[in-house]
């Protein structure tokens, strides 16, 4: 049996994890000459998939930032990357709490204790 809520949360967790990995790589390469900032996008795709009730069609898109290069050819903005990492950690925390709540409700509805 497919569960729309679980699928949506799984895609959200996957996207947030990929975005966090990309931001961590960007931070690690902040001083690497010629390094181009990686980007990850999944929110728009997930929203479109939800509006069509088929979250399985959601995709995570990766790319290279169009931000201007610095004098060394590197275009990483360290401040924005640190903010992105915090944002993705908060998104992950919210998704995990939503998964836990979803399963607690299912457990309670099947005769178990609501927690």
Give the pLDDT score at 1. Answer: 38
Instruction: Give pTM, 2 decimals.
Output: 0.78
- Residues 25-55: tens digit of each pLDDT: 999 999 999 999 999 988 777 777 777 766 6
Q: Using CA atoms, how far apart are residues 59 and 99, in angstroms rounded to an integer? A: 20
What are the extents of the domains in the chain?
4-109
Contact 63, 36 (CB under 8 A): no
């Amino acid at each position: 049996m497919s569960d729309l809520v679980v699928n949506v949360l799984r895609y959200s967790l996957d996207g947030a994890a990929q975005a966090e990995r990309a931001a961590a790589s960007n931070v690690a390469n902040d001083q690497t000459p010629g390094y181009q900032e990686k980007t990850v996008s999944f929110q728009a795709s997930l929203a479109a998939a939800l509006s069509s009730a088929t979250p399985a069609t959601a995709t995570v898109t990766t790319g290279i930032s169009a931000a201007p290069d610095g004098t060394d050819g590197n275009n990483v903005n360290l401040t924005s990357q640190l903010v992105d990492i915090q944002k993705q950690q908060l998104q992950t925390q919210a998704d995990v709490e939503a998964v836990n709540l979803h399963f607690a409700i299912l457990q309670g509805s099947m005769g178990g204790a609501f927690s």
